[in-house]
Amino acid sequence: MNTKISLLAVLSVLFIFSIIFYGCKKEDPLTPNEDMEKFQTEDYAGGTDIGGGFGDTTGIGGGGTGGATVSSNWQSIPNLPGPGRSAAVAFSLNGKGYVGLGEDYPDFFADMYSYDPSTNSWTQLDSFPGGARRGAIAFAIGNSAYVGLGLGKGPSGVGSFEELRDLYKYDETSDTWTAMNSTFPKWGTENATVFVANNKAYVLTTSYEFFEYDPAQDLWTELGNFPGETRKFAASFSIGSEGYVATGYDDGGLGSLGDCWKYNATNDNWTKQDTFPGNPRNQAVGFELDGYGVLVGGAGSIAADNEVWVYDKHQDSWNRATNDYSESGIAGGVGFVINNTAYVGTGWVPDGFLGVESNKFHKLTIN
């Protein structure tokens, strides 16, 4: 009898230990591995976090509900004409939105499309001359847009995949691209973070390195290191002369992040802001809308969610929007803004066991 009791006790302890071990087991990060496995598989669709502060460098915050809600409204627009994709780029220029590049593994894309809100229609443009790629950056300054960096094979389309350090300027009038002479100075260019302030672009690599791009001189300048955790898949937006970097994924062990940082381009300094109150995440879509910062979706402790969060710079606080993104989730999507209306789409969305790369788009207004 005592032997049976002892055996049951041992088995019970082993069972409890297995639950704790596998329940706390860290999953693979939401990123392709070096062998170029498919971008969104079961390994990458999951997360590493248990809400309530994983990835928050202060050790607090995350997993909350935020403050007062913000009224939001979503409406569908026509799908992007090309294939569904993740890790694409988007920008707006002179009243039109532009989307292109990205991947649906094993396919990488170099196609580009423009969206005209006045006709609610898409037009396919000439392909991007820098070659198919994913995880690139895109930004607009004045009447020009710029696309570059990321992972691909370059203009030739041959050889092995590598991080790219090029930059191309887009002329909307002629639908032409011009290669810039200045090469990005460092590596860490796949899934880097970009925002614009004071007519200059600022790029945070996937290490601590931080750079300014001056289009007037076609010049990259290295600035002081970013004070937060290293990250990729971060969301970013600009409000006036200040740029914001929030959430992301830290390969150093923290996993998905829940912090937010403000960069003052005039004074060249960083300030840590109110912690993002939702679950830590990466691959959220970020943009400025009507003077607020907006984060849509992302992935962390779940495959991909559809939450919409709004950042008020005057209160340094995050508020939950009343209506979530129109799909059941989005990770690795893109967004652009035209006349206080945001347009969000593509990315990986939950669908069945693994999910799919989407070409759907929806427009957002807030008040």
Query: In whole angstroms, how large is the CA radius of gyration of the chain?
Result: 21
Joined tokens for residue 152: 């691909």
pLDDT digits (tens, 9 = 90+) for 135-188: 999 999 999 999 999 999 999 999 999 999 999 999 999 999 999 999 999 999
Contacts of 351 (CB under 8 A, 6+ apart): 328
User: Are the C-beta atoms of 184 and 175 separated by less than 8 Å?
Assistant: no
Nearest Cα neighbor of 167 from 137, 144, 193 is 137
- Strand bridging mode 96-100 / 103-104: unpaired
Burial of 15 (0-12, 13-18, 19+ CB in 10 A): exposed
So what's the pLDDT on residue 66?
Answer: 52
So what's the pLDDT on residue 163?
Answer: 98
Amino acid at residue number 96: K
pLDDT digits (tens, 9 = 90+) for 25-34: 333 333 333 3
DSSP assignment letter at 321: B
Answering whether pTM is above 0.95, one says no
DSSP assignment letter at 126: P
Contacts of 144 (CB under 8 A, 6+ apart): 93, 169, 170, 171, 215
Report the C-alpha gap between 59 and 67 in whole angstroms.
Answer: 20
The phi, psi pair for 13, rounded to 5°, reads -65, -45
Report the C-alpha gap between 313 and 297 in whole angstroms.
Answer: 20
So what's the pLDDT on residue 67?
Answer: 54
So what's the pLDDT on residue 301?
Answer: 64
Q: What is the dihedral of CA 150, 152, 153, 156, to 10 degrees?
A: -80
Domain boundaries, the chain: 48-366
With a cut of 70, list the residues of the chain below it in pLDDT.
1-68, 301-302
Contacts of 365 (CB under 8 A, 6+ apart): 72, 73, 340, 341, 342
Alpha helices in the chain (DSSP H): 2-24, 42-45
At the fourth CATH level, which superfamily is domain 48-366? Kelch-type beta propeller (2.120.10.80)
